[in-house]
Amino acid sequence: MKAAIIGGGVIGGGWAARFLLNGWDVAVFDPDPAAPRKINAVLDNARLSLPALSDVPLPAMGQLSYATTLTEAVTGADYIQESVSERLDLKHRVYAEIQHAAPDTPLGSSTSGYKPSQLQEGAINPAAIFVAHPFNPVYLLPLVEVVPSPASDMTLIETVKDTLRSLGMFPLHVRKEIDAHIADRFLEAVWREALWLVKDGIATTEEIDEAIRMGFGLRWGQMGLFETYRIAGGEAGMKHFLEQFGPCLTWPWTRLMDVPDFNEDLVDLIAGQSDAQSGHHSIRDLERIRDGNLVGFLRVLKDRDWGAGQVLNAHDALRRDTVKAPDADGPLVNLQVLPSWIDYNGHMTESRYLFAGSETSDALLRLIGADMDYVAGGHSYYTAETHILHLGEAKLGDHLTGSVQVLEADEKRLHVFITIAKDGTPVATLEQMLLHVDMAAGKTCPAAPDILARLLPIRDAHASLPRPASAGRHVGQRKT
């Protein structure tokens, strides 16, 4: 699959990274000679962060190329994303050239303000043009507002939504086109109020940011606006909240219908406060701090299968269904050491080695068909015993692989030896004994014939492998 990215700024670079790390080839067109440097900086950040959100190995990264013309970029593309400057005349010229070469290819715009009907004016094929408005960083945040117009091809729009889901994104279908779509209208309201608070000397830029990130920003990040207020209504719910706080709408609390003069004094005031607030960090530093925090926040939501975490879990499930089953004696999982995995010594904590081993054995179980559908049928493998041997150190950001060797297996038992490695060097091994269980009866039983038909050939193939030297070792036995 090939994506054409037109415009290589922050947003275009984010789109390129999202496609590349999901296995698409990407052709970028941007006449700015600095575009490759800028995109590589974004891609470096994405490589550090996006894989940490997935519990399933991502595909091999696609090929990145830089086209010298628009026609070269879009020829053969399955999807085109435009992220040029917010000038309607420029977008129209770009679309004309794109559609001369690829009139039927889905053409999404990252515009935050224009309606699709405005973008489609004078186009060769208006039905293929739509809004696909993402949020920065595009490679981490799942939301993308998909906005069609009455002239749009709705079959194409549904295909586009499937494409975006395959990238781990959440396509929000905006049913009725409107200036600035949905999310940016909220942001504009908050932005206007914030400008007044700074201009009137009520709050600094830092104090406003603290009010958001220490308070309602945390609620909004996992529950949104209306669900948050539903809870605020107590047991009586949203109706009670509206009855209690609805009259506040008539109070002179905000200045949303008014805008401060956007002059040099206001710009200097806000820029000066912002520099004092975070100017000691470079932009690259701030991006990496942001990405690390987002990964941590999103991982928590993922563990709870809530909000944006559901999108990430759905993407993992999709990857499990579409990724070719790995060789049973090769790496079964890829993991990245996250900030929450680190102990006070700066190393991966003991519990995470067990987690890595469990992820590897779970991958083997999925490989032989003992997956969640099998568990739903009332049977599963239970871990009866685990022995961990620590051999090396894993630190923040390290990429680890998990591989497994089947030592013994019969109709009820599965004895495995797991190796967790960094750059091919083992950092830990885990020896596990698993028992096949009838969950309703609470006792061991033979595995299903189709499970054994997959498992026993792996056992037989692994019988020719050297037996690990530490298999069967006891605690305190000297390492050999």
Q: What is the pLDDT of residues 281-302, one digit of tens each?
A: 887 888 888 888 888 888 888 8
Query: Which segments in the chain show pLDDT lower than 70?
Result: 245-246, 248-253, 256-257, 320-331, 479-480
From the list 225, 418, 394, the residue with the least C-alpha distance to 328 is 418
CATH of the domain at 363: 3.10.129.10
Identify whether residues 158 and 52 lie together within a single domain: yes
Residue 230 near residue 238, CB atoms below 8 Å: yes
Q: What's the whole-number average pLDDT of the chain?
A: 89
Angstrom distance (rounded) from CA 370 to CA 462: 19
Q: Is 55 among the domain residues? A: yes
Clarify whether residues 101 and 154 are in a common domain. yes
Q: What is the pLDDT of residue 438?
A: 95
- Give domain status of residue 474, yes or no: no
Both 160 and 190 in one domain: the answer is no
Distance CA(157)–CA(7), nearest Å, equals 22
Task: Answer yes or no: do 16 and 90 share one domain.
Answer: yes
* 360 shares its domain with 451: yes
How distant, in Å, are the alpha carbons of 199, 297, 348, 358, 360 from that of 339? 38, 11, 9, 19, 21
CB 245 within 8 A of CB 238: no
Quote the number of domains for the chain. Answer: 3
Tokens 């010298």, located at residue:
68
Query: Which residue, 63, 67, 134, 64, is CA-closest to 97?
Result: 67
Shared domain check, 169 and 190: no
- pLDDT of res. 380: 96
Q: Which domain holds residue 246?
A: 183-280
Q: With contact defined as beta carbons under 8 Å apart, do 129 and 119 qualify?
A: yes
Whether 290 is covered by a domain: the verdict is no
SS3 283: helix
Q: Do 139 and 53 lie in a common domain?
A: yes
The pTM is what? 0.74
Q: Are residues 103 and 68 part of one domain?
A: yes
Cα–Cα distance for residue pair 52/21, rounded to 1 Å: 12
Q: Is residue 297 part of a domain?
A: no
Q: How far apart are CA 51 and CA 337, in angstroms?
A: 10
Q: Are residues 144 and 194 in the same domain?
A: no
What CATH number does residue 188 fall under? 1.10.1040.10
Residue 117's CATH number = 3.40.50.720
Q: 248, 280, 312: which is the final residue of a domain? A: 280
Please give the backbone phi and psi of residue 349, each rounded to the nearest 5 degrees, phi first.
Answer: -75, 160
Spatial separation of the C-alpha atoms in residues 141 and 7, rounded to whole Å:
19
Residue 218 structure tokens: 């945390």
Q: Which of 148, 173, 198 is the last residue of a domain?
A: 173
- How far is the CA of 288 from the CAs of 190, 228, 448, in angstroms? 25, 29, 48
Q: Is 288 inside a domain boundary?
A: no
**What is the 8-class DSSP label of residue 128?**
G
- State the pLDDT at residue 288: 81
Same domain, 345 and 249: no
CA distance 267 to 190: 17
pLDDT of 320 reads: 67
Residue 136 belongs to a domain: yes
Please indicate, yes or no, whether residues 139 and 275 belong to a single structural domain of this protein: no
406, 328 contact by CB (below 8 A) = yes
Whether residues 260 and 385 fall in one domain:
no
Task: Give the closest residue to 411 by CA, choosing from 447, 359, 387, 383.
Answer: 447
Q: Report pLDDT for 70.
A: 96
Which tokens in the block code for residue 238?
A: 């949203």
* Strand segments (E) across 128-216: 129-134, 143-147, 170-173
Could you tell me what percentage of the chain is helix, strand and coil, using 3-state DSSP and rounding each to the nearest 5? 45, 20, 35
Q: Which of 109, 138, 173 is the last residue of a domain?
A: 173
- The answer to whether the CB of 101 falls within 8 A of the CB of 107 is no
Start-to-end Cα distance in the chain: 48
